[in-house]
Amino acid sequence: MEIAVIGAGASGIFAALAAAQPGNRVALFDHNAEIGRKLLVTGSSRCNISNAQVSAEKYACADKNWMQAFFRHFPPARLLELLKALGIPTYSTADGWYYPLSNSAHSVVEILKAGLLKRRVELALSTQVVGLRRLEGGFALRFPSGEPARERFFDKVVLAAGGKAYPALGSRGELFPVLEALGHSVVPLVPALGPLAVALGKFQALQGLRFDVGTAVYAGRQLLGASFGNAIFTARGLNGPGVMNVSHLAARHPDKNLRLVMDFCAPFEAELTEDALTRAKDTSLSCFLYRFFPPKASRFFLEYAGLRADEQNMPLEVQAMQGILASLRAVSLPIVGVRGFDESQLSAGGVPVTEVFPESCESLRVPGLYLVGETLDVVGPCGGYNLHFAFTSGTLAGLHLASQPASL
């Protein structure tokens, strides 16, 4: 069987590895000169491969039941076994983020490339696919007019060309119109896992500081979604995983009155009970906040709560501190925009998961066509979730094409 995989990113590489079983001839196409260009920059070039908390509930998509079925067919722990079999042993940080033992995305890409060559996958690099035509019994891939051959014919096709994030690395989403022409729905692509442009107002004073916070995006009174994680105050707004995890929600609703609500007390609630405050009554207001925040932030928070400088060293009163903490649990800042695809790790949008089979990622509308990775409208939080989905979706497609439950 002749199989074409379009896109040599994470999902495309794993689809090619799994599909390259005896009897199959696999060609992996990419317009870049090397495979895994985006893989090289993941996890600050350390390659954040997966997360111990991977589950269907962590992903935003059109149907949670689909995602649950997806993970039943390829449980999260199986990916780590697969990586080890490929020669990529991993370790987990204290917060459950998985990395290769080498701490090098470059090492991961080199190992994967060696695996492709070992399986005799044709690496058709520096080759752009500009079209896909459905034929009786297969597909024709179309190339630009300057290529030696305008078309090549394949029995099956895996589309792993990605979305629009990191356009400098080649992700531009050019093949989504082709999918629409073939009968698929395409949710408009927007930036995801990127910084937010926020009107900081007085909170501009916290520029350069970072906090673990609860975050929530509201459109008027409607809660669009929430997260928890690090937030970094910058000259242009907010960055960090706690903010990036909800940025796609703002991008999907650009015309609404959007607010980011931050809870600075979220990590410390066990230390902020009334009993804990009572036990700290001999402590000054400022020194109590120093337990949780740096002095610059503590002084700012007290000013934000309305205390003058000469009042900040007064002995702690439980009721007064409860009022101060209440003001820090619901800091509401207007969202004025999202950063573009060039500053985002992922794009949200693409083909809804309900248009492919969860056990194989084969199209329900175009038999023989498989859609994996960022081609599908799936968004996970920072921390290895999206790379995990890319690896897993590619593998499921490849194993289905191999027509056997083979291991890599």
The domain locations on the chain are: 2-189+349-402, 196-338
pTM (two decimals): 0.93
Distances (CA, A) of 111 to 33, 118, 215, 234, 340: 17, 10, 38, 37, 32
pLDDT digits 0-9 by tens, 53-81? 999 999 999 999 999 999 999 999 999 99
pLDDT, the chain, mean: 94
* Residue 406: per-residue pLDDT: 40
- Beta pairing class for 151-154 and 196-198: unpaired
Tens of pLDDT along 291-309?
A: 999 999 999 999 999 988 8
Residue 149's pLDDT is 66
Q: How confident is the model over 223-256, as pLDDT tens digits?
A: 999 999 999 999 999 999 999 999 999 999 987 8
Q: Which residue from 10, 127, 113, 134 is spatially nearest to 397, judged by alpha carbons?
A: 10
User: Considering the domain 2-189+349-402, what is its CATH architecture?
Assistant: 3-Layer(bba) Sandwich (3.50)
Note the pLDDT of residue 403. Answer: 79
- Spatial separation of the C-alpha atoms in residues 23 and 235, rounded to whole Å: 57
Contact, 99 vs 52, CB < 8 A? no
Is the confidence at residue 361, as pLDDT, over 70?
yes
Sign of torsion over alpha carbons 247, 242, 304, 276: positive
Per-residue pLDDT, averaged over 90-97, amounts to 96
The per-residue pLDDT for 148 is 62
pLDDT tens, 186-220?
A: 999 999 999 999 999 999 999 999 999 999 999 99
Strand-pair partners of 5: 28, 158
